[in-house]
Amino acid sequence: MSSGGPGRPAPLRVAAAQGVSVPGDIPANVATAVSLVLAAAEGGARLVVLPELFLTGYDVTAWTPEGCLVPDDPALDPLRAAAREHAVTVVVGAAVARGVVDGAGRHTLSVIVFGADGSVAAPYDKQHLFSDERAFFDAGDHGASILLDGWELGLGICYDGCFPEHAAAASASGATAYLCPAAYAVGSEHRRDLYYAARALDNGIYVVFAGLAGRCGSGEFSGGSAVYDPQGRPVDRVGDGAPALAFADLDPDEVSRVQDRHPLARDRLAGLGERQRLALR
């Protein structure tokens, strides 16, 4: 891999992948994920991001203690092998069991990360739970990033990316890209396409958005996977079909250029002081 210069990473080719997930059918979803990873690897991707809860299914019927995964679950072995064989890092959403004994413990809406070295970890749990998610999942209590080829990549999941401070915290810690698996219902495309472009623009960073597509249980999802550049422009974006992949080469020089010319993150104030109110008659 070519160097990006002293202290600077080389460009990183990424793919935002979307597919159809089957509620509760982990082997089928793992097989679909493997096929998407292989297609992304053929396109030269070093990093592949798949949608929210893709391995579990985004449907309340799949959110059970028995349906939660752990990183060393043998059901994940085909995806682990694909990441290792094709030298890619895979970020994918799943329901995860944490410290569960005899049914007691925490169940989190998480990302599982498969490394090209064969490692598997679940470093991040969704902090901003949405609607019905709160009935089963426990919210995460920390942010997280992954480090890959000199890049720091902040992690978020769907609703997290609707809150400007979430991506801002990742950027403040050194992230130059923000990875966001998601599941947007049909009819919410306007919000989907605004939020993640805005998070890129807010911070002068790349955003990799992977959206669930098609029917999953009782829901119909709109896809829209995309990679946004540091000015919030889509480098590549796909529609609502599946399978589909959006590719981009993340360029560290573009991050530096945008952050120098539009230093929103640097100029963000820690506080805005006491609010004064003027009463008019």
Query: What pLDDT band is residue 52 in, cutting at 50, 70 and 90?
Result: very high
DSSP 69: B
pLDDT single digits (tens) 188-220: 999 999 999 999 999 999 999 999 999 999 999
Res. 3: pLDDT tops 80: no
pLDDT single digits (tens) 136-190: 999 999 999 999 999 999 999 999 999 999 999 999 999 999 999 999 999 999 9
Query: What pLDDT band is residue 120 in, cutting at 50, 70 and 90?
Result: very high
Domain boundaries, the chain: 12-267
Tokens of 57: 């299914």
Instruction: For residue 132, give the H/E element and its range.
Output: none
Of residues 4 and 114, which shows the higher confidence score?
A: 114
Q: In whole angstroms, what is the distance from residue 240 CA to residue 214 CA?
A: 7
Q: In whole angstroms, what is the distance from residue 205 CA to residue 215 CA?
A: 32
User: Which residues does 273 contact at the CB level (< 8 Å), separation at least 6?
Assistant: none
pLDDT single digits (tens) 13-42: 999 999 999 999 999 999 999 999 999 999
Res. 101: pLDDT tops 80: no
Across the chain, mean pLDDT equals: 95
Q: How far is CA 56 from CA 22, 32, 95, in A?
A: 8, 12, 6
Domain at 12-267, CATH from 3.30.1490.190, 3.60.110.10, 3.30.1660.40, 3.40.50.720: 3.60.110.10
Q: In whole angstroms, what is the distance from residue 63 CA to residue 133 CA?
A: 9
